[in-house]
Structure 1
């Protein structure tokens, strides 16, 4: 699995900021409500970020050798996928609500008592937290370079070929 590129997250945020801004301009023109998430969405965002962080800490503890039992590789892969999804969704939320904030700041002088602006700022902050948690947990799931080179083990590992021309095997 490839690592996330931060530039992709920035591109997602910028594109969705533009889409959010255009949507708010259109909804304001036709007198519709501003499309911002409700405050209860913060609870969901926090739960997702905490679950991702807890699962990432479990993988980190195993990777650093603090756990003696073997880590389920499926759990580690799911943790990595959850971290990447958390970062992508966070970038989307940050961008969308960033576009809303830009449009709401334009009319700040006319209506300074805008709860939508503060709600959009808080949602954008929650998206930023999700991006940071996703990137940090993805770093937790990386295999150290010494494990990739095989320098840390003295003998052949499971699945290694025994000699030239032989296939990898699995010991039971």
Structure 2
């Protein structure tokens, strides 16, 4: 499995930004209440980031100490998929938070006052923490290249 590429993360962030902005703009144009993410969302995203990294620790220990610790390959696969999903979700939600922030800051009067801007900023920070936690966990589950195969391949012929 390949690592999550920066272009994929940027694409998800752009989709989230456009979606967050137009969601709030559409709701305001329809006379509905705009989306204001609660502070609890930021806390939950931080906790999820910590859980993802903690789930990757046994895999990291097994990768570093190949002789002694064995890890279930299905567990390792699930952790890598969880880490990738966390990174993509963090990117999407972070973009959504940025879109909400752009909408709120671009208005002459901010609904909910400064508190709504702080809530959107907290959500964005929590989403970035989830993104970073997912990327860190994904890298923790990477198996280093075998020493035996270093002399075989295209570079060995030179």
Deviation at 1:150, TM superposition (A): 8.2
Q: Which runs of 4+ in 1 moved over 3 A?
A: 109-112
Which residue number in structure 1 is paired with residue 57 of structure 2?
Answer: 57
Q: Matches of 1:126 and 1:148 in 2, distance apart?
A: 42
Of structures 1 and 2, the one with the larger relative CO (CA 8 A, separation 6+) is: 2
Which residue number in structure 2 is paired with residue 155 of structure 1?
Answer: none
Q: Which runs of 5+ in 2 are unaligned?
A: 152-158
Which residue number in structure 1 is paired with residue 45 of structure 2?
Answer: 45
Q: Matches of 1:100 and 1:144 in 2, distance apart?
A: 40
Which residue number in structure 1 is paired with residue 92 of structure 2?
Answer: 92
The alignment yields a C-alpha RMSD, in angstroms, of 2.2
Contact 2:61/2:69, CA 8 A, preserved across alignment: no
> TM-score w.r.t. structure 1 length?
0.78
> TM-score w.r.t. structure 2 length?
0.85
Higher helix share: 2
Q: Give the match's secondary structure for 1:145.
A: coil
Q: Between 46-55 and 123-132, report the one with greater CA deviation.
A: 46-55
